[in-house]
Amino acid sequence: MTDDDATRPAFADDDYCYLTTTGRRTGAPHRIEIWFAASGATLYLLAGGGRSSDWVANLIADAAVTVEVGDEVRPARARVVTDSAEDERARSLVAGKYQERTGDDLSSWRARALPVALDLGAN
C-alpha cells in the first residue's frame, strides 16, 4: 500500500464529481459534472477549454468551492496547477483513469487541457 492509497478517498473510483463554483459575475452557484482523479486529499480535473472555461474563470476569481462525489459533499480550495511535476501527475492520473474506462485515445486532450487541483477540506 502506498501513502496515496492510505489517504485515498472511498469515492476515488467514481466516474464523476460535481464541482460548484461561485459565478464571478453573478455570485450565483455554478455546478458542473466532470471527470476527476484522486491523490490523497487532492482531486485533479482537466479543463479542456483551459482558462476560458467558465468554471475555471470562476475558481480563479474565488477559490472556495464545493465538490460532491458519491454521497459526500466537501468544501475545497481550487487552484490551477502551476508546478511542472504536479502538472504531469494530474495529467497522468486523470487521463490514465479514463483512458482505461473509455478505451478512447485521450492523448490530445491530456496534452492540451489545463490541470486544476481541488484540495479537500481547505476552504
What CATH number corresponds to the domain at position 104? 2.30.110.10
| pTM, 2 dp | 0.87
Q: What is the mean pLDDT of residues 61-88?
A: 95
- 55 lies in which domain range? 3-120
Question: How many folded domains does the chain comprise?
Answer: 1
Pairing assessment for the beta strands 72-80 and 42-47 based on DSSP bridges: unpaired
- CA separation, residue 88 to residues 25, 44, 56, 67, 106 (Å): 32, 11, 19, 22, 15
CA distance 37 to 112: 17
Q: What are 27-46's pLDDT values in tens digits?
A: 999 999 999 999 989 999 99
Q: What is the mean pLDDT of residues 10-34?
A: 90
Residue 60's pLDDT is 97
Q: What is the mean pLDDT of the chain?
A: 87
Of the pLDDT bands very low, low, confident and very high (cuts 50, 70, 90), residue 121 is confident
